[in-house]
Each structure stands twice: as C-alpha cells, then as structure tokens.
Structure 1
C-alpha cells in the first residue's frame, strides 16, 4: 500500500468524523489497530470497554481497504439490534453495508447478487448463517478467498467460558482457517476475562500465542457509572421500590429482568404506576423490537423492561440508567449489560435489586446446558451417512426437546461428527469424542461465577474494583484506589424504605392470580417412529385452561415455590381463595359441572384437598382422582414425542357414572402441557363432554 502513514491516518480521521461527528479524534490505540489491519495485514484481538470505539476501527479499516482495491469486509455479528445499528453507522461513513440474518430472508438473493457484483463494502452475517448449506457452499468460499478483512464482533461468544456462548460462533474458526493469504482478522469484545481471552485466541487464531498478532486490551473503568445494590427480601416490596424511584433516575434507561414472564409482569406493574415503559424480550416480534429500540433512542419511553435479548449492540450513548430486578448469574454478564449506560454522559445510575429467587432461575438455565454423553451419542448414532433427517424428524428419535437438540447438532457439526445439508442432517462417520473435561470445566466456571455474583451483592468494598478484578482488568494494580462513586466508596446507600400503601398496591397487582394455559394443538412429529399412531391436529384434547401463577412470577412465584418446596399438606385457605378468584374470572364457554384431581406423585394431599374444597364451594360433582396405573414410571422425558409416548394409557380409566357436562381437571404443576393433554384424552374417552385444565403453577 503506497499511501504514506500520515496520509492514511488523515483519511482515517476524516472517516471517523463522518461516523462520530466533527469533534471526534482517533485514540492512539484505535489507529494502532487500523494500521495493523490495513497496512501490515495482521491479526488483532481488541478487548476494550463498551464505548471505546471498536466499531469505528473496523468500519474505517473496511473503507480504507476497499479504497485500495481489496475485497469486502465480512463482520460476524450476533444480534439483529447490533446489525441495524452498524448498518446505520456504516452509511454515515459512506460504507455500502448489507446484512444477512433471519429478519431479512426475502432480501438474501439480492444481497448475494450485490456481493457477486462487488457493490457491497461490508457484509454483516449472523453466526447461524455460516452453516446454511447454500451460503456455506456457494457464498462463503468466495468471501474467504476475496475478503478484505474478517471481523468477529462480540468475540466472547466463541468461548465456552463466555456468558453469551453460542455454538454457531465456533464455526468461525473454520472460516478463519480457510482465509486467503494476507487477509487480516479482527476479533473484538468488551467483556472477557483471562480465560475467555485465551479461549478466543485458540478458537480464532488471534491473540497471545500466535505470532505477529496485535493484542490491545484496555482498562474497564467507566467513570460515569455509579454502582449501587439495594437489598430488599420481599419481591413485591422490591418491585414497589422500583415503581416509586424510577421517575427519579436520569433520562431513560433499561430495567433488566431474568425471565420473559418477569419482564412482562414488571412492565405491566410500572405502567400501572404511571410510567411509560414497554417489555422487550426474546419473544418480541422483530418489527416490534425495532420500534421499541427507536422509542428508547428517542426517549419516548422512560425504560424498556428487558431480558438479556436487549444487550449486545444496542447503542444509546446517553442511556441514563440500568436497573436489574434480579441478578444475572455472573459478574461478566452483569458488567456487559450495565455497560450500555453512560457512554456519553457524566453520570449514569446502575442499580442491582437482587432476590432470593435468583439462584433458582440460575439453576434452571444451567439445567438446559449441554446434555450428558449418552443422549448426545444417540443423536450421532441415529443419523445416516447419506439420507438426511430434518430436525423435526430426528426429534422423536432422541430424548431431547427441540432447542437442546438444535444446540447439540450445532456443536456436533462444529466437531465434525454431523453435517447440515439440504434436507436436514447427516452423520459424517468421523470419529467423535465427548469432551467431558471441557463440560466439567464449564460447570465449575459457572459455579464460580455465580458465587462471585453473590459476593458482589454482599461486598463492602469498591464495587467497580470488584467487577474489574472479575474481568482481569490489565490496568488494575494492588494500589489501584476505589472508584469513589459507588455506594460503598461514598458510604451513601439508597434507602430501602417503601411506603406500606405502595407495597399493598403492588402486592395486589402482582398477586392477581391467573394466567392462560393454552392447549396443545398438534401432535409431535414422528410419533410413528415410537410406535404411536398419533399425528396432525389434536381433536380430543382439553379446552383452554388456567394457571394460578408462574414460579418465576414476582407476586405468586415466591408463595407457590414455598408451597411446593414444603412437605405435602392440606391446601391453605389463601390458595383456595386465589383458586376461586381464578375460576370466577374464567370466561369459559360452559361452566364445569364436575371436578377431578390428577394423581400427583409429589403433592397428592395438596391437590386432592384443593379439589375437594373447590367441589364444595362451586357445587361441583367430585369425581375423585385420575389414578396412575400401578407400576408405571412417571413421564420425565424432555422431548415431546417421548413424553407423549410415556403418557399413553398412563392412567386407570375413570368411572364417571354417566356424568354430564365439562370436567375441571386439577394438577399441581404443568410444564410442557402434555400431561394435561393426555389426561384430558383419558377423561373424554371415558365419557367426559369436555375438560377444563387448571394447574397451580408452571415453571416459567
């Protein structure tokens, strides 16, 4: 490249002003990275705090490389929000950017054509797209040969140790390995401790241990962040505290919840208190997400009440606060989320409101991690070497639900044991070893991170120093002073006092019992594989039902958890009153005339006593208990097809003695909905006109 370093830096400075405004200036480390990529064609690993300007580095490098005749830059980017922001940023600098992801399927062919015509400067690709057969076999080889630069954004996702680990990210190492000579690679992240940095280096071929690689790792202190922890034991009081204090927080911000249901409950509660808020979760429609992001950017809402779906890549420099109602399971994840705040403001408030229920939620998420070897081996052994099986066709052959099966297939694909082709998946026949040591290390790391998060909640030392140590901040020394801003450094702790009237109002709102229990409408695919002749639409299942509350609810959740964790016993009066309230508000087509309990292996007294009282209060015919067949093991399979198969003829056919009218069916907990579906079929086959399911709790 004949252009002098001075001229090149001048051009880089001009591009930065186009990106970030007339007063923007390149940091020395930003220029060091750009020069390494553009002039020296090296590999680089950049670990810098949120707001440092990592995206400026790769957009400027992409533009400079394109101007000197090199191919397009490929950016692997994990979230749609991140892609939308980056395309907008690229346009400001005159960079022609395009993105291929699940949200723009109709545009893929046109984008492929633009790539072939050379009219795309930057292509942003979701990691999941890397193994689409058509993209992998037709587009990716050309990109690997002709790319000017490959960028792996949010590179911590490639690491098993990372808090956002995604199996698809491990495919990137194959892309990097197939690059043509002299194609530079940039990996970037804001949140990585020493373990993650080492793992990223190994996976991507960048970082320490690889010759001629630039590593830029900066400090993580954020002078604008004011960290505090507010410890309030009762969930309703905790929510009431937030409802009261939200209006005092500066500007607009994000309130994080740990589950989808908690996000919706909290958003409804805050709206009832007059706050302009909205829920944002992984279940939010793509178009609605874009609108909600725009509303927050424009300060049309006080806050988005979000799960971790709103995280990486959302860029609002003046975000005034981040509040967590419930703690994430690791300090790394926590720091990544709070880093959204205060990028261009002098002060941003960061508040953690932890709860005793957090650990239960962490445990649930950990339970859906990578499964044991026997289940994974079954997946490999079930696949054919030539005849592909789709995921739905494979699902009834293995005891894994759809989401876990898809994760296993992705990991096995990266490991070379299976391959995705048109029509589904095939086995490769290559030897495969279950990496038990890696998964054991991951479990140990997860336990250590959870312990560290609990320590963060309790510590009386500087909170920012604590987080920086957890992320192995390279600028920390034994003499580094405290931040001087957090509640522990200043000695100013937020009051936990909440007006009793506010607490009562909040408790009443949160403890309104009842949520929908939607019936299953389709039988799982591939039931014939298990010898069960069920397929298509379900025509003899239950009517829409009701659930008293979710175990993750802010209101009923703690009470239901305590009830179900306690020894089995008679239904308490408060539970009976709540159940009556749900039944009274139930807009059923026809009122039930009979009631029956599902035989509960864990809470038989609770369920039968509740059924007996509801029969008395509602003047319903008590039809007794739907008994399990003696000797039948409980249906515990996670996979829908396996669970249905296990529930075939699971109950002794009841004697209804010619009972007429709908039957209210009572159970303690409903999870997948298949127990209620199959129990309802047993009742209808015995003569029940219809079945109305009612459960005390669902897990989430």
Structure 2
C-alpha cells in the first residue's frame, strides 16, 4: 500500500470529518501513525493523548479507509450515552453511517442488528454493559467478532483495575479480542492513563505475536488556566458560585460529588436568576439529552453535574469547569476538567474543595473487592442452587449490598468463575484464585490517589505540572498560567447578601422519606413468610428527614453527629428546632399529617422512639423534645426483643430485614394507648438507610391498631 497516497486519502477524510471538504486539514503525526498502523499494518494500538487531541478522528478516518478496502463495520465500545450521541453526530457529518446500542434505545435493537448483518452500517457503538448481556453476548457478539473490520475501545483505562474508573464490564472485551481474526486491527484510546495503566492495557491488547503499538503524547492543556479557591464552608462556596458564575467565560460545567449536592446547587442558582440544569445519575434520559443540547447551544450557563457527565461529552467551546468539592483522584480530576477548552484559546478551571470531601469519598469507597469469605460464600450458594439465581435471590444468602454484589459478580464472570445466563447467574465450576495481594495493592493505590488530591489543593507548585506528573507525563513542566505560576487570578470574596442567601437555602431542612412498599425477594429461604407488596394496612406513610447525609447543607451538619465514632449525647438545640420546623412544614403541606387522611384524624396521638444501641441518648432526647414542643404525649420507646443489632451495618435488603424482623416489641402501655386512640403516631429515629427499621417498626405499630405511622428522622443515607 503506497504510504503517500494513503496519507493523502486519510487527510482528505479528515477534512470531511471536520466539515471542510477540500480543505487543508492534516492529521497530527501520532494520529497518522495510528491510522497507518491500523489500516496498512492491521496492528493493535493504544493511544494515550490529552483530551481534545483528536482520538476520535483516528478511528473515524481509519473506519472510512478500511471500509473502502472491503473491511466490515467498526465496533466502538463507548462508556457513556453523551459520548455516543456526540460520536454518532460527528460520524454523520463525515458520511459515516453510525448506529448505537445502549439502554436508551432498546426498541431499535432489532432493526440495528439487521442493518449490521446487511452491512448497511459503518460503525456500531455499544456500551460495555451490552457485552455481558446474555442475548447480545450469545447472538450478536459472535457475529460482530466474525465481521468486525476495526474494534475500538474508548476510555480504555476502564479496562484496567489500576485505572481510576475501572469497570468490570470492560474486561469482557478480552473474550472478543481472543475471537477476532489475527488481521483485525484494534485501537484503544484514553486521556487518563498513567504508566501502570498504560502497560496493563497494552498487555491485555497484545496478541502474543506483536506488541501493542503505544502512542503516548504530552498531556499539557495550553488553554486551561487552573486555580483553587479555598472557602470556609459550603455556604461560602455556594455564595461564591452565585456571585462569580456570570463572570466565567461562556458556558460550562459545575461538578458536585453527590446527586443531592447537584440538585441543591441547581435550585439555588436558579433562584439567583441563572439558567442552569441538573445532570446526574438520577436524571431521566430525555432530560439528560435536553440538558446536553441546551449546553451545546449555549442556552444554559452551566450544567450542574455529577460524574455522570464525566467521559466523552464534547463541546469544543466549553469555557469553564468548576468543582464544588474535589474528586477522589487527580486523574479523575484531570479527566473532568478536560471537557473545557478544547476549541477555544482560554478556559477557566476552578476547584472549591470542601472539608466534607474526605467523608464523601469514604462513603462511596464501598467498592473495594469483598473479602475472600464473602466471595467463596457466593460461589458456594450458586453451586449448591443447581440453577441460575438472580441478584435479589442471592441477597437472601449473601450479606452484601446490591451494587457491590453486582460488581463482584461481573469480576467473577470475567475471571470465568461465574456466568451470566438467562434467569441470573450460575457457577461454572472453574477453579478460581482470590488474588488478595493484587486487591490490596489496588486499595493502597486508591488511598494514595486521595492523598494526592488533597496535596493538589494545597500545593504551592504548578497545578498543571502536578496533574501531569500524576499521569506519569515525563514532559511535565510549569504551565505559566495557573494561580501558583502567575498569582491568584480569581477573587475569593463573597458579599454578605450572597452569603445570607446561600445560608438560607442550606439551612432549610426537610426532605421526604419514601416508605418501603415491597418485601425483598427470597425471604422464604430465610424462614420468613414475607413476599410481594407490603399490605397498605401494615405500611408506614411517607415521612420526613432534616436532610440527606450527602447534602452540602444539612448533610455537613449531621455527618459528625451520626458518625460511627461520634459520642452519644442529647440532640443539639439547633437540630431539635430544625426537626420541629420540618414537622410544622410537613403538617401544612398538601396531604400533610394535619389534614385527615386514610380515615384518621390529623393530630398525632403521640410520639414513639425507635430503640438505639449506639445513640440511645440522641434518639430519646429527639423524640422527647419533639413531644414536648408539640405538646404531644411521649408514648415510649419500642423495646429490643432480642440481642441482635438494630442498626448501623450496611447490609442488603434481605439480610437487613432478617436481622430486624423480630427485633422489636411494643411496651404494654404503648399498646394500650393505641387501643384507646384514633390518629397517627410519630415514629422517631436518628437516620434511615435501607428503610427496613422504619418498615418493621411501623408494621408492629399498625398491627397494634395504629391508623398511620409517620416517620421522622434526622437524616437519610445517600
């Protein structure tokens, strides 16, 4: 194949891709090396280049050239819907017929499969989760492996468990790689891989005959100006954002660490007159798409987002990225700020760290690989079942929260110990080794990344150089633009009016607590005759909490009070006043307890406390304080029926319910009061996580004759 003619053809395709047919567009040197390796040499290549460098141009140009030479369609594994939408649009502009299979378009899957079989599509974009869908893996994946002309693994750091965003579903690619014909080229791309991750991914891509071609470039981002704004608390950070958001260039992204913080921030900024939209894992797909379109069209000043908008969103003129709270890894931070300044000369990047960041990291750190005993127990349960078990069915036998259990099963699937089949999961009988040393090293690496992120916020050196060194960029030098290189360039002051507005917003307590409506699956296996819907006559009503522990307002105030090692003492006066205010607002709200409902009179007949082994003084003082302030009888505290735990541990629903099912009893005087009274009862506890403590206590009260149970807690977890 003539190299010069191939280069000219590749540059011409690039010109079409960037919207200037016949123009002078030219591939960068490493872009050309990658395209040449894929098209001419049919090699496997790993491209590690900064965000905005043009990695997608490599695989789209290679796709066109390979298709012209008779190759099958390209398969691109992409992690996020935002990335897929951007890439489909980019492909369309270049005349590339691209389709996507993901959770948002199941009604199109059949049609897309037919197009692939007919050869009518040039590119198929799939999410990594599709690779382990039973139907896709058994029917579609073999066909793709046999006909694929180019396999692309985008955000390839997800393949490595050393990467900051490891996803077990990505490891399923190893099976597809092994089934590809030797001459099918493979391209992996990422902007956030340090030396260890790069070596790991390159090794996984290798065929054993030829080493993976690694093209790694400098990670400098000349358009980004980095800074850190240190402020004393969440109210100051929110007030600063309200005062300075309008001065930031263009439109951008405001990242938060939790869904609750994103929603709080969005509400506050809208009250201050800003056009902003929330973008989180809780946002509906249609609302996400609308938010992306509005940001692309500069119809909003910012999206207030969690890491759900992490990888792939492409807006070349994005003018700023602000973080309200620090991500747990400098590498993840570099990836997120990489959304800005792709097609403009200047973009501002600001970090507003919070004192609560480490607590939030710890809460979300429940992702380390489980101890060997739990893994072996899971394998044993699957082997003894003799049939596939769903995750809810497994929860009855394995004491592990659902998200962690699902992640563990995906890892075991990749390792060959279990297999996803129709109806759930099944053991394969394959010998499996628990790699404790590796899991421990990964955990230590995560801890080191957290320490490094704290160091980033306080370093006196160049911030861009710091991030580049975290990614093992050998060419890292001072940038000459950040606040440490040229001096503070952003005003950290906050006006009194803005601060008062933020404090007022964050001081407003009250979130709804949804009751449990269904019993967990598989309780019969635990000896409990509980299944299906919880009867309305045994269910608690929707309740209230002061806030979520993930809030940036009340969450920050409640976390120290409810921490595992916190001393037990009487409820603080300001917290009690807030609880009373929540109760009053609740009473006045539509459908609130002050209005008769479900045949009951509005005013509570009294207050009942949930017993606590760890914070008895706190719960008792809260319940009595509410009773005294509301001039309601304090009916007493439920008694512990047995010595089992009544709180604290984070279990899955089935295990938690088993633990609590017979944990409580009604004192005789409470039972007698309920028999004589008509009306609701306020049920008071310190916090709710799974919701089963409230559900079990409410069932006990309802069976004793209580017409309604109204839960009131200090906090919800999550």
TM range (shorter): over 0.9
The answer for the alignment partner of 1:327 in structure 2 is: 326
Are the counterparts in 2 of residues 654 and 683 from structure 1 also a CA contact under 8 Å?
no
Question: Secondary structure at the residue paired with 1:323?
Answer: strand
Cα distance between partner residues in 2 of 1:520 and 1:630: 23
8 Å contact from structure 2 (residues 206, 212) kept in 1: no
Select the residue among 603, 607, 616 that pairs with 1:595: 607
Q: Which residue of 1 aligns with 2:695?
A: 677
Aligned partners of 1:626 and 1:397: how far apart in 2? Answer: 29
What is residue 144 of structure 2 aligned with on the other side?
A: 143
Q: 1:21 aligns with which of 16, 19, 22?
A: 19
Q: Residue in 1 aligned with 2:637?
A: 625
Report how far residue 308 of structure 1 moved: 0.3
Matches within 5 A, 1:453-492: 453-476=453-476, 480=477, 482-492=478-488
> By how many angstroms is 1:369 displaced?
2.8
Q: Write the distance in 1 (CA, Å) between the matches of 2:500 and 2:199.
A: 51
Give me the whole-angstrom Cα distance separating, in 1, the residues matched to 2:700 and 2:77: 51
Structure 1 residue 650 and structure 2 residue 663: aligned? yes
Distance 2:205 2:696 in 1: 49
Residues 291-313 of structure 1: CA deviation (Å, up to 9, x unaligned): 10000000010000000000211
Contact 1:62–1:149 under 8 Å retained in 2: yes
Partner of 1:344: 343
In structure 1, the residue corresponding to 2:545 is in which secondary structure? strand
Deviations 1:489-525 (A, max 9, x none): 0012533221123212211111101000000111101
TM-score computed with the length of structure 1 as normaliser:
0.97
In the aligned structure 1, how far is the partner of 2:134 from the partner of 2:627? 58
Partner in structure 2 of residue 196 of structure 1: 197
Where does residue 544 of structure 1 map in the other structure? 542
Q: Does structure 2 retain, via aligned residues, the 8 Å contact 1:218–1:475?
A: no
Of 507, 525, 529 in structure 1, the residue corresponding to residue 521 of structure 2 is 525
* Cα displacement string for residues 12-71 of structure 1 (whole angstroms, at most 9, x for unaligned residues): 112111111325321121111101100111111100001111001001101110111111
CA–CA separation in structure 2 for the residues paired with 1:505 and 1:401: 39
Greater Cα offset, 116-125 or 311-320: 116-125
For 1:275, the equivalent position in structure 2 comes to: 274
SS in 2 for 1:585: helix
- 1:611-640 alpha-carbon deviations (Å, 9 max, x no partner): 112112212111111122242233535110
Matching residue of 1:39 = 40
**CA offsets 1:630-671 (integer angstroms, 9 cap, x no match):** 422335351101111111110122332233221101101111
Q: Give distance in 1, aligned partners of 2:488 and 2:362.
A: 33
Alpha-carbon offset, residue 205 of structure 1: 2.2
Q: Deviations over 1:402-424 (max 9, x none)?
A: 22221111111100001112222
Q: Is the 8 A contact 2:203 2:212 kept in 1?
A: no
- Distance in 1 of aligned mates of 2:541 and 2:642: 28
Write the distance in 1 (CA, Å) between the matches of 2:435 and 2:512.
41
Shift of 1:692: 0.3
Matched with 2:110 is: 109
- Does structure 1 retain, via aligned residues, the 8 Å contact 2:72–2:149? yes
1:391 is matched with 391
2:423 and 2:551 map into 1 onto residues whose CA distance is 41
TM-score, normalised via structure 2 length: 0.94
SS at match of 2:451: helix
Give the drift of 1:288.
1.1
SS in 1 for 2:533: coil
- Once the two structures are TM-superposed, the CA of residue 386 in structure 1 deviates from its matched residue by 5.3
Name 2:356's counterpart in structure 1: 357
| Contact kept? 1:78, 1:127, Cα under 8 Å | yes
- Give structure 2 stretches of 5+ with no counterpart: 587-591
Q: How many residues align?
A: 692
Alignment of 1:81-96 (within 5 A): 81-96=82-97
What is residue 693 of structure 1 aligned with on the other side?
711
1:123-147 residue CA offsets vs partner (Å, 9 max, x unmatched): 1111111122222122212221221
Alignment of 1:393-412 (within 5 A): 393-412=393-412
Mapped contact 1:172–1:204 kept (Cα < 8 A): no
Aligned equivalents of 2:575, 2:212: Cα separation in 1: 63
Q: Which structure 2 residues correspond to residues 47-66 of structure 1 after superposition, within 5 A? A: 47-66=48-67
1:99-153 Cα deviation digits (max 9, x unpaired): 1111111111111111111111111111111122222122212221221111111
| 3-state secondary structure, aligned to 1:63 | helix
Q: Aligned partners of 1:518, 1:181: CA distance in 2, in Å?
A: 55
SS of the equivalent of 2:215 reads strand
Whether the 8 Å CA contact 2:646–2:693 is kept in 1: the answer is: no
- In the alignment, the residues of structure 1 paired with residue 620 and residue 52 of structure 2 have an alpha-carbon distance, to the nearest angstrom, of 58
Deviations 1:444-481 (A, max 9, x none): 000100010000000011001101100011323xxx3x
Q: Distance in 1 between matches of 2:9 and 2:628?
A: 82
1:163-312 matches, cutoff 5 A: 163-205=164-206, 211-312=210-311
Q: Is the 8 A contact 1:254 1:304 kept in 2?
A: yes
DSSP-derived class of the 1:215 partner: strand
Q: 1:212 to 1:199 in 2, by over 3 A?
A: closer
What aligned pairs does 1:654-669 form with structure 2 within 5 A after superposition?
654-655=667-668, 656=670, 657-659=672-674, 660=677, 661-669=679-687
Task: Verify the 8 A CA contact 2:132 2:420 in the aligned structure 1.
Answer: yes
* Aligned mates of 1:495, 1:125 — CA distance in 2: 44
Quick one: distance in 1 between partners of 2:573 and 2:402?
40
User: RMSD of aligned C-alpha atoms?
Assistant: 1.5
Residue 5 of structure 1: CA displacement?
Answer: 2.2
3-state DSSP class of the match of 1:383?
helix
* Partner Cα distance (1:665, 1:646) in 2: 20
**Structure 1: segments with no counterpart, 5+ residues:** none
Q: Deviations over 1:524-558 (max 9, x none)?
A: 01111111000111121210000011122121122
Runs of 4+ in 1 over 6 A off after TM superposition: none
User: Is the partner of 1:64 in helix, strand or coil?
Assistant: helix
1:156 deviates by 0.3
Aligned-partner Cα distance in 1 for 2:108–2:543: 41
Q: How far 1:212 moved relative to its partner?
A: 4.5
Is 1:225–1:350's contact at 8 Å kept on the other side of the alignment?
A: yes
**Secondary structure in structure 1 of the residue aligned to 2:570:** coil
How far off is 1:439 after superposition? 1.0
Q: 1:514 aligns with which of 507, 510, 517?
A: 510
Residue from 3, 6, 10 that aligns with 1:5:
3
Contact 1:80 1:101 in 2 (8 A): yes
Partner-residue secondary structure (3-state), 2:468: helix
Question: In the alignment, which residue of structure 2 is the partner of 1:494?
Answer: 490
| Cα distance in structure 2, aligned partners of 1:608 and 1:261 | 28
Q: How far apart, in 1, do the equivalents of 2:378 and 2:288 lie?
A: 35
Conserved? CA contact 2:51–2:338, under 8 Å: yes
Separation in structure 2 between the aligned mates of residue 133 and residue 574 of structure 1, nearest angstrom: 54
Alpha-carbon distance in 1 for matches of 2:252, 2:650? 41
